[in-house]
Structure 1
Amino acid sequence: MNPENLIIRPIAGRSELDLFRRLPYVLNDELDDDLAAGRRRPEWMWMALRGDHLVARLSWWAPRAGEPPELLDILDLDDATPAPASIDAGVRLFETASAAVLPAGVRPPEHNAYVPPRWRDDAEARRAVEGRIAVLERTGARPLVERLRLEWRPGAPIAPPSGRLAFRPVSGREELVALMTLVLDGTLDAHSRADLVRMPAEQAAALHYDDELAHYPSPREWWRIGTSPEGEPVGFVIPARNSYNAMIAYIGVVPAHRGKGYIDDLLAEGTRILAEQDVPRVRAATDVGNVPMAQAFLRAGYEVIGRRIDMTWSEGESQ
């Protein structure tokens, strides 16, 4: 297959969304809203075409309009195009689009890929996932972590309050950042562990608060701190809404109180707060390797709906 026949370009606008959506993916239904809200831009959505045949596509995403790309959350290959031609096309697409969109010398945004729950057990799914990984590995990316995507639906049980903890709202940024800093001690979360290699725990906690938690449109009155009978903070849970779903945004038990099952009390409280809002679902995620947290979600009535593979580039590496 002649690579010179490959045309690489961004979409011309909304009129080409149907062409861009020819490759199936879980995020296809969100593209219209993302474009309307400014979380995507046509110049961030690129295609590799042979004639009118879509060989590969990619798109970056930002959490808010006016901000630079934060994630490469779409990278798809036409699985009918045999490897290595499809992988070669994906590499050329990434390199061309990155050179046009991303600042020179800056590490590319992380890639998140949503994959089926048991993708390794399905030959077709495995081939598709491994092809996309191969594209990014050729550009210098490496897998960071695989995460479970979880969901609670109305009708699933919520454990009643055990009475072991009392719950109160978070008093403000200072209190929550202090607790988040404590929770980072011994964390099993891969992103947090990567942050701790680059910065002190307090700085990592503050960045997480300022870059993510502070921007949720849902009321901060939902956020809860669980305290012991003596009034000592045991942990916290952050039930919230983002632009797509209600979710458990963050949950943690401080080191001095771990191993006593308090995570179940915190998770039930957070789920209960969201259930009272009549939400159609509650989403959550945790690393596959964070077995205690994954088990807590399953005990709380959450089901695994998929997985996510996160890939990153080294600091200072760019295309």
Structure 2
Amino acid sequence: MSAVTIRRINAGETELFTRFPHAPHPEVGREAKQDYLETLAEGRTRPEWTWVALRDGETIARAAFWGRPGTEHPITLDWFELGDATTEIGAALARAAYAETTNADGGRPEFQLVLPPGWRERPDVRAEAQARIDAVEAAGLSAFVERWGYTWEPADGLPERGDRLVFAEAGDEELLDAITASLPGTFDAHDSAAVAGDGIEAAARSSWEFLTSLAGREHWRLAKNADGDVVGAIFPTTFSAERGSIGYIAVLPGHRGKGFVNELLAEMIHGHAERGAKRITGNTDQANFPMAKAFNRAGFRTTSAQIDFR
């Protein structure tokens, strides 16, 4: 059998990536949910972030990283498809790509494997997922956290708005302060790791920079109780005129356990709906039980699972 060549593509070689002969799995990964050429045109992937495994000039496996337009480093590995390639070839592809690619902090961009709920109980889906898991683990990555993805649509019904909070526009400093103040005791694995590694201020700044790279800043609000105390803040983000997202919810430690997360989430849903959203998505760690329960109470449906590898 001919030797396999693994390399990044050059400008003008996008067909090496797009002529991959296997159709994307409809439920495993992000490949079926986004178009590579459109993502390339938007600047969210680039030839230098795109890798292929070739045998006799034909693409037998492929990988591509995703990032924000205009930035130097990618954030995640979004495409990782093996087709009929072996675990060894998949591992070699991942190993080569990660050896030449870092995130803004100098570490590995996460590989986020999106899956359907209950995927472990479905042999066909589990086999496809396991092939990718085996390859990235053989390349040195390990599972960091598992998450749930949620979807709300108008047919799911609007949750009742609470009456204990007043939502108001706020400046950048106030909103960043709310994120910073909400980080102690967070249930979010990414936030916890950022705090442990870089400190609260840097972790808050990292979340802020990510959120401000998305659309929707004009809809962010500070939430105060009747006494004027800051309880938290909401950070809705927008993908399109008809699709919104639950970008970030901050609840200050002294106000946790009192149901305020339900009011904060309901306010975000109502705001998106009033602006014409036909679909709202959100996610949380599977171990973040308070947030998972809040999504369920608000009428969201669990529509995906996700494993983040580092």
One fold, TM greater than 0.5? yes
Q: Given residue 40 of structure 2, which amino acid in structure 1 is its aligned partner?
A: L
Instruction: Determine if contact 2:40/2:46 at 8 Å carries over to the other structure.
Output: yes
Contact 2:17 2:62 in 1 (8 A): no
CA contact (8 A) 2:16 2:59 kept: no
* Distance across 2 between alignment mates of 1:118 and 1:45: 31
Residue of structure 2 equivalent to 1:230: 227
Report runs of 4+ in structure 1 exceeding 6 Å deviation.
none
Cα distance change, pair 21–193 in 1 and its aligned pair in 2 (3 A): farther
Partner of residue 76, structure 2: 71
Q: Which amino acid aligns with 2:117?
A: P
Q: 1:49 aligns with which of 46, 49, 54?
A: 54
Count of residues paired in the alignment:
301
Secondary structure of 1:268 counterpart: helix
Shift of 1:279: 2.0
Counterpart of 2:198 in structure 1 is 199
- Which piece of structure 1 moves more, 53-62 or 246-255? 53-62
Query: Residue by residue, what CA displacement relative to the aligned partner does 1:85-128 show, whole Å, maximum 9, x if unpaired?
Result: 6110111212333445559x943211111112111111122222
Identical aligned residues as a percent = 35
Helix, strand or coil: the match of 1:289?
Answer: coil
Counting only pairs closer than 5 Å after superposition, residues 155-234 of structure 1 correspond to structure 2 as 155-169=155-169, 171-209=170-208, 211-218=209-216, 220-234=217-231
Decide which moves more: 264-273 or 251-260: 251-260
2:306 corresponds to: 308
1:204 Cα shift?
0.9
Give, in angstroms, the shift of residue 54 of structure 1: 4.3
The structure-2 alpha-carbon separation of the partners of 1:69 and 1:251, relative to structure 1 and needing over 3 Å to count, comes to same
Measured in 2, the distance between the counterparts of 1:305 and 1:293 equals 15
The code of the aligned residue for 2:292 comes to: A
Q: How far is 1:43 from its partner?
A: 3.0
Residues 243-254 of structure 1 correspond to what in structure 2 (within 5 A)?
Answer: 245-254=243-252
Q: Name which structure has the greater RCO, CA cutoff 8 Å, separation 6+.
A: 1
**AA partner of residue 199 (structure 2):** P
CA distance 1:21–1:42, change in 2 (3 Å): farther
Q: How does 1:268-307 map to 2 (within 5 A)?
A: 268-307=266-305
Instruction: Give the Å deviation of 1:278.
Output: 1.2
Which letter maps to 2:185?
G
Within a 5 Å distance, the mapping from 1:80-99 to structure 2 comes to 81=84, 86-99=86-99
Partner of 1:116: 116
Q: Show the counterpart of 1:146.
A: 146
> What letter corresponds to residue 286 of structure 2 in structure 1?
V
RMSD (Å) for aligned C-alpha atoms:
2.3
Letter in 2 for 1:176: L
